[in-house]
Each structure stands twice: as structure tokens, then as C-alpha cells.
Structure 1
Amino acid sequence: MRLSRQPFLPFVFRMCGIVRIVSNELEVERYRDMKRTAARKENVLRPWNYLLELLCARRMRMEFSIQSQQNFQKTIYTLDSIEEEKQRLLTDDYGNLMGVEDLLQKHSDRRRNINTINTQLQDVQRIMVQNIDDVLQCGTVHSELDIKTQNLSVL
């Protein structure tokens, strides 16, 4: 369970600490119904830990969503660049004074631009495949959380 960068982390530690302190204090004082106290402690901590797991899973989904949105923005930018380059290649307006050397230079510049765009597309494709793999792995985490939910509902 990943709890980094969580604003509720101090509260979690305080809450769990208080439950454990009260339980330990009752145990030290040899409280007569220690089994029930331990069971209640577990009844408090188990749903709390489940809630933390759900929050971490939600954060992971949100981070994935943000990353996907950024990848889509890169894709749109790359498609716009392709369209721009396509429009430049389709224009026949080279001017009257443009020589062969200028045309060759312009051609090599456009070829470099096309190669750069191709590299960007490959990067976006690689990232998207990785994100799809991450989503498939999240499916197993969700099924585990469903099983835990069913186990908690039985209790």
C-alpha cells in the first residue's frame, strides 16, 4: 500500500495509535474482557485499512487518468504537427528565386521534421501500451479489493 503524498497520513497514524494505545492500556491493567477488546480493535482497524487501500487505489486511478490525458495531448500535438508538415509539403509556392540548393535544404529540413514526428509517435505509442498494461494490472487489484469487500460484508 502506497501512502506517500497523502494529506490524511498524520490523521491515520493518530487514529490507529489511539486505538492501539487504548487496547494496550486495557491489557496492561488486565481488563477482564480482553478478548472482546481485541476483537473490537480489529473491527476498527480492519475497515480502516480497507478504506486506506481504497483511497490509494483511487489515487492511482487519478494519476493514471492524468497521465493518459497528457499522452492524449501529446498525440493531438503530434497530429497537428503532421498536418502542418503535410500542408507544407503540398504547397507548390517555392518562389521565383529559389535555387536547387534551397530546395534540397528545404527537403532535408522537412525530412528531419517527419523523422522527429515519427519518433514522437513511437514514444506516445510506447507510453500508451505501457498504460494499457498498467490498467490490466489494476484489474487484478480491483478483483482482490472486491474479494476483501465481500469478506468484510460477511463479518
Structure 2
Amino acid sequence: MFKLSALLVTLLFSAAASAQTFVYPAKGQSPEQQKKDEAACHTWAVDQSKYDPANPPPAPAAPPPPTGATPGSGVRGAARGAVVGEVVGGDASTGAAAGAVAARGQSRRQNNAAAQQQQAAASSQNTAGQAAYQKARGACLDGKGYSVK
């Protein structure tokens, strides 16, 4: 569920941040003046948002391939499984094997989930930077007498 919500939020922010903006010279500014004003507002927006669309941060790296279970998880699972196997069925070796397999599988899932969460957080941070830049640029141009949509 977390993955789906993070993906949906990222997509919504991406669409909003990457949407093309149109700048209309509402006070009759010349094309030359508009170019100067847009350049000045770009510089100001980069300073304010700490995000430069001409130089975006690198895309989040793909999560590294699964490296397996956390060291020691199989041993801990085997110990727990042996205790349960001895108490429940009188066979500690079967319980130990089952416990080791279950613990290593859970450890892998947790490692994969952590990597995916880190990637989603990096992507969300980049999207927030884009949105902040667009908002700052729009505010600057609006202050200089342009209509920004």
C-alpha cells in the first residue's frame, strides 16, 4: 500500500511540476524585456528553491540487487524454530530448518522494502524541488507584471 501511495503522489507532483507554463506580458512588455525578466526570475527562483531545472539532481539510482538476508538472520531463525519444533512436535531439526528459511525470507523482504522506500523518498524530494522552482518563478514573473499560467 505504501508503494502505491508513494508512486501516486510522485506522479501527481511530477505532472504538476513538469507542466508547461505560459508567460503573457500583461503590461505590454517587449519581447526583449520579457527575455531579461524571465532570465532574472529564473536566477531568483533557483536561489529561492535550491533547484535548477537546467541542472537537475541525478535520477535516483535503482535499488541495488538483493544481497540476501541480513547476516545472522538464519541462525536466529533456526534457534527459534528449534525451540518451537521441540516444544510442539518433538523434532528440533525440522523446526530449526523451517525457522532459518522463514527468517532469511523475511530479512530479504525487509531489505528490498527499505531500498524501495529510499528510492521513493529521493524521487519525491526532486519533485518537490521542481514544484518549488515553478512557484518561485511564477511569483517573480507575476511581480514583474506578467500573467503566468
- Measured against the shorter chain, the TM-score band is 0.3 to 0.5
Higher helix share: 1
Q: Structure 2 length as normaliser, TM-score?
A: 0.38
Q: Structure 1 length as normaliser, TM-score?
A: 0.37
Bigger relative contact order, structure 1 or 2 (CA pairs below 8 A, ≥6 apart)? 2
